[in-house]
Each structure stands twice: as C-alpha cells, then as structure tokens.
Structure 1
Amino acid sequence: MDVADLSPAQARERFRAGERVPTAGWCSGWTQANLIAVPKELGYELLLFAHRNAQACPVLDVGEPGAWSTALFPGDLRTDLPGYRLYREGKAVADLDDVVAEWRDDLVAFLIGCSFTFEQALLRAGVPIRHLDMGTNVPMYRTSVACQPSGTLSGPLVVSMRPVPAALVDVAIEVTRRYPQVHGAPVHVGDPAAIGIADLGRPDFGDPVEVRPGEVPLFWACGVTPQAVIMASGVDFAIGHLPGHMAILDARDDDYRVP
C-alpha cells in the first residue's frame, strides 16, 4: 500500500514495528505533529512559551503528566513515531527508535502543529514541493530571529524551507495562511541571509534541496523550534521527535483550515 493511503493507525503500527523514515507524504489528509515532552515542572513555562510564539509553536494537544497518549494521538507516544531525540542538559545525546525506557512519570507531552499538514493543499493549488519529489526530509534551519522568552526558556526560531516558482509565491502564501494552527503563511520570503541562514545547502535539520533558477525560497515557522530552545536553554531533560519524523494524529488536515 502507498504510504499516502495509510490510516494513522496503520502508520503508527508500522513505526511501532520498526520502520524509520521521514513522514512527509504519509497518510494523505491526516494531520502530523511535532512532539516535545518535558518534566511537569517545566510544563507551564513551555505552554507560555508556545503562547508567546504561537506561529512557531501552535499547540494542538497536551497530555496528562506521565501519559503516553492524548485525545488526538490514541497510540503510544513512546513507540509509535518513526524516530526520537533525547536531550540531557541541553544537549542532544541520542537518537532512538523508541523511548519506553526513557519515559518518566512526570513528563508532559506537547503535540505542536506541523507544516506537512498544508502540503496536500499546496499540491492541489499547483505548487510543487521539492522534498516530496526527491523523497527526502524537508530542510530546516536555525535563524537569527529570537523567540520571545518565557521564564528560563529562550532560543532561536527554526524555519522549514520550500523553493517555489516565482509566479506561484502569492499562491503558496494564500494557501498556507489558511492553516494558522499549523504555522500559517511564511515568516520570510527570499534572501536567507536576512534571517541569518548562511548556506541553504547545509540545513541544521533534515536534508538539503535544490533551489532552481526562477524559484524563491519560502520559509515557514517550524515546530522543531522547541527543540532548539531546549538546547539553547540547557534544559535538564526532554524528549522530542527526530525532526521530520512526526506523530500522525487522528485529526484531519481540513480541521485546521480556516476560510
């Protein structure tokens, strides 16, 4: 079966069984989300941080302390994603297939909106998506744009990039602005140096893609931002998804579309 035709439950089952792959293009029509799980004592600061930086960190769901499922993710957050990243003292210390052994009773899981959610809408509007054509992960970059801090949490905005033909830039902006809970319209169009990105060929997360003549790089706020903030803030312990390897929710992309 084509991965685009899988249900969220079928995808989660495959990840639980050990499939490890970026999820762009999986489960067409179903919403994907970023995972960040932090100790309960940090939960309020992270929730406030997300509120203050809502375009980068749109919260779709939050779990109870210690819980490994939520209303929108009825699977197991410890096993049903295709990759995890473990943080200790602000450093990424391991990429893991599952986090059963690392999950703690005090962890609060946040599910943050993902720009993969609006990619089918872009395709329907005729906007090509290079990383889907290449079968790779989307490129993601730390920027020089500082997020608004909350308590002990501060750090840079992370963006994802998609090259768009110049004639379709306005179309891409109009399509994605209708999805404000999954990052909405681009935060920057054009020159990457203006937001502190020195080399599009060297993303901080994900894979590089070609920007061809006549194309303009468009940058969307990215739900990997909380992981960059975890590192910048030296947080003692956190669990995130491996960037681009998302949680697939029991929610529809159209649930997050506004007129």
Structure 2
Amino acid sequence: MEQRRELSPTEWRAAFRQGRAQGQTSALAPGYQQANIAIVPAAVADEFEAFLRANPLACPLLARGRAGDPGLPELGADIDIRSDLPRYRLFDAGYPAGLLTDVTDAWRDDFVPFAIGCSLSFEADLVAGGVALRCHAPGVSCSAFDSSIPNHPAGCFGGNMVVSMRAVPADQVDLATELTRRHPEAHGAPVHAGDPARIGVNLSRPIDGLGLTDIRAGEVPVFWACGVTLERAIESAGLTAITHAPGHMLITDLPTGQGRG
C-alpha cells in the first residue's frame, strides 16, 4: 500500500483490517492519538483498571470497553479491536504465544478491551516544536527496554516499567521535556535522561529488536514510560490475554492532547 499519502485514522484502520497495510505505526496519522491495547478476561478487568490507575505514567487510561464487545466508541465509531491494529501479541498463562494480524478467532465473550496512551502520539509535536528525532518516520520507531523501575502493584498485576528511548540532541533535552509534559495522556515528561544503567536499561537489548538504539555524538538517550509495561503486568499475573505488538498501535480518532479515562 502507498503510505506516503496522508490517510485519516479511519482509513488506516480499514487498511489494517483489510490487510492492505502492515508494519509499525510510527509517524502515521499525525495529530491523532495512537493507543496501546490490552484485552484481558472480565474476571480481572477491575484489578487491571486499578493497576492502570496506579501507574498513570506508564499506563494512562484512554478507554475501557465492555466484556465481549470489540468496539471502543470513545476512540472511533467504527473500531473493531480484533482487526484494526497491524499486529497483535497473544499471551497464554502469561507467556508470549505468537503474533497475529487479526485476533477474531482468538476472541472470547469474556474479553474486555483497554486502550492506553502511547508516546508515538506526541512525536509529531516534538518535531514541530523543533526537536530533531531520527526515529520519527514511517517504518522507523523509537526503541523500548525493560527497566529496573518497579510498577505499583494492584491485585494480581505488578512487574517493572518498560521505557521507550529516543536519542535527543543534548541542547534539546529540556525542550523535549517541556513539550512532552503537556501530553499526560501519552506518558508525559521523561522518567530519565542520560546513563541508561541508572534505571537498569541495556541499550543492546531492545524489546523485540525494534527501533533505533544508537546514540551519536552530541545526543542524549532520553527515556519515557512506555505502554509495553502492560506486557510485564500480564506476565506477572500469568494471564491469557491479547496486546498490541510493540510499535503496532491502534490509530484513534482522538486528537493529540485530549482524553484521559
């Protein structure tokens, strides 16, 4: 599919649903929020929401659906959460169990979908505000890493925070911090800038091997809380569940800067 033409969120979702587009969603549909997705059994949905609210930096709640209903009308009237992302990850008893481009066959009547804010939503604003980002382009993305920062546990959910990393020019770190502070619905300001080891990050081990990890002369690694934290919570709970695949988000109809559950 030709990806250089600017498509609306509705058009992108239709393209993913119909198999006409695939790949990471970085830099697609600028001006609209992208969302991390977690689909969990109804029996633990209230505990999961409590976990999200206890960890708002990593897990800013945008919407919660109803058991058995694949729609999220707050984020787009036509959304079918089973098919409108380019790629999903399945979990079986807390362990990753494969990647799919459509999870209709894995759907259950007791599944409850959640949408959580994503830092890809603020990248266009960073670039427009004058921050030079090498990771902001179609098919290119920031990287994500496990950290040693503990989540606040709730019910059966715990684990450590996952962080996203962007290489930012040293003289633009303060600007990047101020610009992203205005986006609490998309993780807000960074949790750390500088030495990765101070938060337990190994830059040679990006999650799924995705994203840019090199730091060039004059750049600083800057870390934001990341929605892939959902995976660590699901692993800690030993759940059968579904999430987005890292970097493969739901593109919503919600403009950037709006929405918080």
What TM-score range do you get, normalising by the shorter chain?
over 0.9
Partner of 1:240: 243
1:127 to 131, 135, 143: 131
Q: Does the alignment pair 1:250 with 2:257?
A: no
| Pairwise CA distance, 1:11 | 0.2
Return the TM-score normalized by structure 1: 0.94
Between stretches 135-144 and 213-222, larger displacement belongs to 135-144
Specify whether residues 90 and 219 from structure 1 end up closer, same or farther in structure 2 by C-alpha distance, changes over 3 A only.
Answer: same
Question: Contact between 1:130 and 1:209, CA under 8 Å: does it hold in 2?
Answer: no
Partner of 1:52: 54
Specify whether residues 3 and 43 from structure 1 end up closer, same or farther in structure 2 by C-alpha distance, changes over 3 A only.
Answer: farther
Question: Contact between 2:57 and 2:225, CA under 8 Å: does it hold in 1?
Answer: yes
Q: Deviations over 1:112-133 (max 9, x none)?
A: 0000111111001111222225
Partner of 1:92: 96
Q: Does the alignment pair 1:202 with 2:205?
A: yes
Partner of 2:106: 102
Q: Which amino acid aligns with 1:10?
A: E
Mapped partners of 1:78, 1:134: distance in 2: 23
Return the TM-score normalized by structure 2: 0.94
Partner of 2:16: 15
Partner of 2:156: 152
Structure 2's unaligned 5+ residue stretches are none
Partner of 2:219: 215
Partner of 1:42: 44
Structure 1 runs of 4+ with >3 Å offset: 1-4
- Note the 1:155-194 alignment, pairs <5 A: 155-194=159-198
Identical positions, percent? 44
Question: Contact between 2:182 and 2:257, CA under 8 Å: does it hold in 1?
Answer: no
Question: Contact between 2:25 and 2:139, CA under 8 Å: does it hold in 1?
Answer: no
Q: Deviations over 1:34-93 (max 9, x none)?
A: 000000011011100011101100000111111111121332110110000000011000
Please give the root-mean-square deviation of Cα atoms over the aligned residues, in Å.
Answer: 1.6
Mapped partners of 1:29, 1:209: distance in 2: 25
Structure 1's unaligned 5+ residue stretches are none
Q: Which amino acid aligns with 2:60?
A: P
Question: Contact between 2:177 and 2:189, CA under 8 Å: does it hold in 1?
Answer: yes
Question: Contact between 2:168 and 2:220, CA under 8 Å: does it hold in 1?
Answer: yes
| Pairwise CA distance, 1:256 | 5.3
Mapped partners of 1:4, 1:138: distance in 2: 22
Query: 3-state DSSP class of the match of 1:42?
Result: helix
Mapped partners of 1:174, 1:229: distance in 2: 29
| Pairwise CA distance, 1:24 | 0.5
Question: Contact between 1:3 and 1:25, CA under 8 Å: does it hold in 2?
Answer: no
